[in-house]
Structure 1
Amino acid sequence: QSITRSLANHSRTVRIPANVIANLRKYLQAERKLAQAKNGMHTVDDVSEELGLPVEKVTWEEARAFCRKLSERRERPYRLPTEAEWEMAARAGERGHYATLAEWKEWLNAHAWQSWNAKGKSHPVGELKPNGWGLCDMIGNVEEWTADGYGPYPEEAVTDPAGFENERKVVRGNGWVSSYDFCRYASRSAQAADYRRSTIGFRVVAEAR
């Protein structure tokens, strides 16, 4: 199975093995992101599935540290998704093309908190519709760290790629401050590993046993 990512004047094809796609469906907190009672960084022990808001104000380094702690606590490997895994999960295996801008805006309003409907704040996870794989807020609400360093896409097709090793890390998904024209599956940005802001959070991948 393959997906094509389109940016301004650029696209690439990424092939994801079937077993990896199956594992993507096992995202930890698939229907609810790691949540917190209020803004701020919390430890593994503070996180509760009953609390509604997505994690915010977390650096890439803190997100990685959380994954390590969670792995130790649950005796199972957890990690940040690669950029390719994140996009496959966001698209739910589909190409995600819409015939008109109006159709895309209608989809966003039903599935994503962005500047058009968020009223200047993040919202509890699961209030809007999930995607085809049952994942909520893959676009909008808060942006999400991925495991990969930022770099240009290769011209050739690649299989289950891991990103570059550098100090700037890839952020995907856009957030509640983003306008509808920036809320796209392929939209990506780069931030330093110690960068922190109120619109960036994360979700984790549980490795298959």
Structure 2
Amino acid sequence: MITVPGGQVTLSDRRTERTWAVEVAAFHLAAYPLTRADYTEVTAAHSGSTQNGQDGARLPADSVSWWDAVRYCNALSRQEGLTPAYRLPDTADGADGADGSDGSDGGIAWDPSADGYRLPTEAEWEHACRAGTTGPRYGPLDDIAWYRGNSRERIHEVGGLRPNPWGLYDMLGNVWEWCWDLYDPQVYGSYRVLRGGGWFDEHWSCRASVRRRSHPTLRIEDVGLRLARSLQP
């Protein structure tokens, strides 16, 4: 994992034409999107669509819902002896039983003091993606991202293109990445934020500022996740 320095990031939403500044504390973020091999090792479940015969271990874990991502974070934390970051309150024994199938967020709570794995907030994600740069991308798109223009309409192994200045790979393109945040609960209810763009997206979706939303139960072949951890005092 990469230690991302703290700083301020300005988020924007094209739909509402709103901008807002967020202070981001230093935190840890995985250098790569979570791979299928790592997902399967913890969950004993297949994660990823098979495209053109691809089922490689270093492909990003895709077809992962937000709920799958949260449960993976907790499972990996327990496996490594860390305190899970998320609490699903419908279970008394600490196991993760909720799945959001009723259309709600299940009353899930995040403990920011926990040392376990979690999803980044969208402010953390954009701050890390930009890595001190100010343009729409941290480099020429073909050099840094798999998108419709160069992906041959398929997913690619992580780390195959140039990282951003902080050593983070595939922040744009390949798979969209779930964030912790609700997108706009007053309008979209439990929909969660996705960032980064995917292998089937046009170039305008692969920018640091682009926000996408989806229901937390969505599983689709261009959506995955990237692990974060809070810095401990």
TM-score band, normalised by shorter chain: 0.7 to 0.9
1:176 equivalenced with 2:215 (yes/no)? no
| CA deviation map 1:166-193 (0-9, x unaligned) | 4111111110111112211111111111
1:63 equivalenced with 2:96 (yes/no)? no
Identity %: 36
Q: Secondary structure at the match of 1:3?
A: strand
Task: Verify the 8 A CA contact 2:13 2:19 in the aligned structure 1.
Answer: no
| Structure possessing the higher relative contact order (Cα contacts under 8 Å, 6 or more residues apart) | 1
Q: Secondary structure at the match of 1:42?
A: helix
- TM-score, scaled relative to structure 1: 0.77
1:187 equivalenced with 2:210 (yes/no)? yes
Q: Which residue of 1 aligns with 2:133?
A: 94
- TM-score, scaled relative to structure 2: 0.69
Q: Which residue of 2 aligns with 1:42?
A: 40
Q: Give 1:51-130 correspondences, 5 Å limit.
A: 51-76=57-82, 77-97=116-136, 107-130=140-163
| CA deviation map 1:75-98 (0-9, x unaligned) | 231101111111111111332257
Q: Which residue of 2 aligns with 1:160?
A: none
Q: Secondary structure at the match of 2:212?
A: strand
Which letter maps to 1:95?
T
Q: Secondary structure at the match of 2:163?
A: coil
| CA deviation map 1:151-208 (0-9, x unaligned) | 18xxxxxxxxxxx994111111110111112211111111111111000000110222
The 1:204–1:43 alpha-carbon spacing in structure 2 relative to 1, beyond 3 Å, is: same
Q: Secondary structure at the match of 2:194?
A: strand
CA–CA distance in 2 between the matches of 1:114 and 1:120? 8
CA–CA distance in 1 between the matches of 2:156 and 2:60? 8
Deviation of 1:42 (Å): 2.9
CA–CA distance in 2 between the matches of 1:195 and 1:172? 15
Deviation of 1:43 (Å): 5.1
